[in-house]
Amino acid sequence: MQKIKNICCIGAGYVGGPTMAVIAQKCPDINVTVVDINEQRINSWNDPDFSKIPIYEPGLADVVKDSRDRNLFFSTDVDAAIEKADIIFISVNTPTKTYGIGKGMAADLKWIELCARQIARVSVTDKIVVEKSTLPVRTANALKSILENTGNGVKFQILSNPEFLAEGTAVADLMAPDRVLIGGDVATKEGRTAIQTLVDIYANWVDKDRILTTNVWSSELSKLTANAFLAQRVSSINAMSELCEKTGADVNEVARAIGMDSRIGSKFLKSSVGFGGSCFQKDILNLVYISKSLGLNEVADYWEQVVIMNDHQKNRFAANIVKTLFNTVSGKKITFLGWAFKKDTNDTRESAAIHVADFLLKEHANIVVYDPKVTADQIYKDLDYLEGNDLETIKKLLTVETDPYKACENSHAIAVLTEWDEFKTYNWQSIYDNMLKPASVFDGRNILDLDKLKAIGFNVDGIGKP
């Protein structure tokens, strides 16, 4: 078996950065170089102040501190890292296509293909190429064709090793994963050897029973399937939340009751303003697109409903704010607590907050946002790309505060968009005293004690609450 000395990871994002930091910490004999074309991002990873690394994840700064400049390196020199690597992880973004065939559905594989062509051009020794990005099933075929047809005659083995970490718990998930999935060419000896090489790396800290090996297509499809199932649970409980509101049932009680059935399980049953994040919607739409492309229309429709339900949930949360505030929010100050798509991350991609803000801005509301980890710059960027929005107007209507109490002052209503723990510990009496009356709270995460808020004098609205 080949002794692995150098690993390269292309893409220093939410997956590449944390994943490689953990590999470097757990495998001190291997040099791990994470490369990216985004110079600013690489500079932040190399910042002498570890609190300034570009991704906020509990525990991540310490892991990076442990290995950086010892056997963990961040660089923009992609060619050099590829050249010396035995294993290359591709961990670049694969967002939904915004143009051409498959627009709004298919995964955009532009960056994946660029990586493959660069690996082929630069490589002068045999390499194992690992798909770490989430990819449509059968992408390994396209990679193989590019690597073999544009390369220098060296041999490539392609593995699929999807990442299952969730943001906010990335380090814990990487340290103790439920499973590590490795797909490869099980039909050939070289394929099996490549699979074993990657198994051996993970086996440095992951129990062998949790390392699963499959054929490459099963591995690629399992990633999309896992996200579809997880998102489906959220949409399912959110669908029930609307029914709860109409019938006097409480969605938390329903979730608890069904979750105690061991066949259903209690996780991922938290009703919310809707799921966000860069993965769920993108991956389901990709699954829908693949199914449609294969003529499986019923399969496509089944999964598309998960996204349709999620859009409905975000819309009805925003519409309920307007309705409750006497059918007009024009000129009214509404405070958003939270902007990130979930707690313990500074990631805002597809956050429900963006959608709710867009809805309320179209109703001419004045919005003030407080989020403990998201910058004002990021918030404006998130709104800038929405169709029909003009940033100058938005900046007049939406402001960002770094003090939550100030953000709530003189406001008509507070909407909780992210489940940050600190929101639970605020002095809600003092917040109430400084708001306009009637003062409303719309808890899009069901984290606040609504009875207590009601006793203070707030009008309260939770998700799926009678």
Between 266 and 305, how does the x/- string for binding to ligand NAD read (CB under 6 A)?
------------xx--------------------------
The CB-of-279 to ligand NAD minimum distance in angstroms stands at 5
Binding mask 161-190 for ligand NAD (x = CB under 6 A): --x-x-x-----------------------
CA distance 283 to 134: 8
Note whether 10 binds ligand NAD by CB under 6 A.
Answer: yes
Radius of gyration of the chain, Cα coordinates, nearest whole angstrom? 24
Q: Quick one: 117 or 233, whose CB is closer to ligand UPG?
A: 233
Q: In angstroms, what is the minimal distance from the CB of 280 to ligand UPG?
A: 6
Judged by beta carbon, residue 98 or residue 427, the one nearer ligand NAD is 98
136 part of the interface to ligand UPG, by CB under 6 A:
no
Active-site residue, 244 included: no
Residue list 199-258, contact with ligand UPG (CB under 6 A): 227, 230, 234
Q: Which does 272 bind (CB under 5 to 8 A by kind): ligand NAD, ligand UPG, none?
A: ligand UPG
Give the one entry of ligand UPG, ligand NAD, none that residue 127 binds, where binding means its C-beta sits below a cut-off of 5 to 8 angstroms depending on kind: none
Q: Which does 227 bind (CB under 5 to 8 A by kind): ligand UPG, ligand NAD, none?
A: ligand UPG
Binding segment for ligand UPG (CB under 6 A), chosen from 266-274, 286-294, 432-440, 455-463, is 266-274
> Are 305 and 345 in contact, with CB atoms under 8 Å apart?
no
Residue pair 201/27 in contact by the 8 Å Cβ criterion: yes
* 426 interacts with ligand NAD by CB under 6 A: no
Of residues 268, 380, 426, 432, which one binds ligand UPG by CB under 6 A?
268
Looking at 25, 67, 71, 91, which residue binds ligand NAD (CB under 6 A)? 91
Cβ 157 to ligand UPG, closest distance in Å?
24
Q: Tell me which residues in 11-50 interact with ligand UPG (CB under 6 A).
A: none
Minimum gap (Å) between residue 8 Cβ and ligand NAD: 10
**Residue whose beta carbon is closest to ligand NAD:** 13
C-beta of residue 128 within 8 angstroms of C-beta of residue 88: yes
**Tokens representing 23?**
């590999």
Q: Is 41 in the site for ligand NAD (CB under 6 A)?
A: yes
Indicate which residue of 9, 27, 279, 408 is catalytic. Answer: 279
Q: Does 279 bind ligand UPG (CB under 6 A)?
A: yes
CB of 181 to ligand UPG, least distance (A): 11
Which tokens sit at 376? 């004002």
**Contact between 16 and ligand NAD per CB under 6 A:** yes
Binds 334: which of ligand UPG, ligand NAD, none (CB < 5-8 Å by kind): none
Under rule CB under 6 A, residue 166 binds ligand UPG: yes
* Euclidean distance between CA atoms 60 and 56, whole angstroms: 7
User: Which lies closer to ligand UPG via its Cβ, residue 134 or residue 161?
Assistant: 134
Among candidate residues 223, 82, 78, the one with its CA nearest the CA of residue 162: 223
Interacting residues with ligand NAD (CB under 6 A): 10-16, 35-38, 41, 78, 91-94, 111, 114-115, 133-134, 163, 165, 167, 278-279
Please give the residue ranges that form the binding site for ligand UPG (CB under 6 A).
Answer: 134, 163-167, 227, 230, 234, 268-270, 272, 275-277, 279-280, 341-342
Give the residue numbers annotated as catalytic, written as ranges.
279
